[in-house]
Amino acid sequence: MDSAVDAPDAAGATAEAVQAALAGLASPERAAGSARFFKTGPGQYGEGDVFIGVTVPDTRRVVARFATLPPAEIGRLLASGVHEHRLAALLVMVRQFEVARRPRTRDDDARTALHAAYLGAVRAGRVNNWDLVDCSAEWLVGEVLREAGRGDDPLLDELAASGSLWERRVAVLATFAFIKAGDAAPILRLAPGLLDDREDLMHKAVGWMLRELGKRVDRDALTGFLDEYAARMPRTMLSYATEHLTAEERAAYRAMR
Question: Which residues face 195 on adjacent strands?
Answer: none
Same domain (yes/no): 119, 31: yes
Same domain (yes/no): 230, 255: yes
Same domain (yes/no): 157, 213: yes
Q: What is the pLDDT of residue 257?
A: 87
Same domain (yes/no): 96, 178: no
Q: What is the pLDDT of residue 9?
A: 56
93-129 b/e with 16+ CB inside 10 Å = b? bbbbbebbbeeeeeeeebbebbbebbbebbeeebbbb
- pTM for the whole structure: 0.93
Mean pLDDT, consecutive 10-residue stretches, the chain (257 aa), reads 48 90 98 97 96 98 97 98 98 98 94 98 98 98 95 96 98 98 98 98 98 97 98 98 97 95
Whole domain around residue 30: which residue ranges?
1-135
